[in-house]
Amino acid sequence: MQEIERKFLLKNNSFKEEAYASYSIQQAYLNSHKERTTRIRITGEEAFITVKGKSSKSGLSRFEWEKNIPVAEAEELLQLCEPGKIEKTRYLIKVGKHTFEVDEFYKDNEGLTVAEVELSSETEQVKLPDWLGEEVTGDKRYYNSYLVQNPYKSWKE
């Protein structure tokens, strides 16, 4: 299937007061090639293997395939992944009929916070909450697969 989403930086941390849930995520990549990525993710008691293609020209949509896998198997697969595990907390915030996912990164990506909202079509309208900052949809620097090899802390260097 195709995943269609918009991505934003944040103006401030006020989204945290509006979050109805949060959970920690650890993930790494079996391959972080720009044409296709294969990700292993553990979130609490669930784990997934996810394959993504590259973005459409608009930067909005991208092939995505995902499968639930046992956490114990995901832990083994994480060992095999490319170096550079991503660790972050995800906050869920309901805004109108959409759910914004805000990821606050740790470790080598400390200081980075990114909001995403999934759309059902490229032209769907979304109400944008006032804590959103600059839109970075399609900017490959904010791909998690890019952050593995180019962590946020190294950007200013």
- Is there a contact between 119 and 4 (Cβ–Cβ < 8 Å)? yes
Count of residues interacting with a copy of itself (CB under 8 A): 19
**Alpha helices, DSSP H, located in the chain:** 15-18, 71-80, 144-149
Interaction between residue 65 and a copy of itself (CB under 8 A): yes
Helix, coil or strand: residue 42: strand
Interaction between residue 46 and a copy of itself (CB under 8 A): no
Interaction between residue 36 and a copy of itself (CB under 8 A): yes
- Tell me how far apart the alpha carbons of residues 3 and 37 are, in angstroms, rounded to a whole number: 14
Report CA 117 to chain centroid distance, whole Å: 10
Is residue 142 annotated as part of the catalytic site, yes or no? no
Interaction between residue 92 and a copy of itself (CB under 8 A): no
Token code pair at residue 31: 């391959």
Interaction between residue 34 and a copy of itself (CB under 8 A): no
Interaction between residue 73 and a copy of itself (CB under 8 A): yes
- Tell me how far apart the alpha carbons of residues 156 and 136 are, in angstroms, rounded to a whole number: 18
Cβ distance to a copy of itself smaller for residue 1 or 57: 1
- Is there a contact between 98 and 121 (Cβ–Cβ < 8 Å)? no
Task: Give the interface segment with a copy of itself, choosing from 9-17, 62-70, 84-92, 135-143 (CB under 8 A).
Answer: 62-70
Interaction between residue 10 and a copy of itself (CB under 8 A): no
**Under the rule (CB under 8 A), what is the footprint of a copy of itself?**
30-31, 33, 35-36, 38, 49, 51, 53, 63, 65, 67, 69, 73, 76-77, 80-82
Catalytic residues: 29
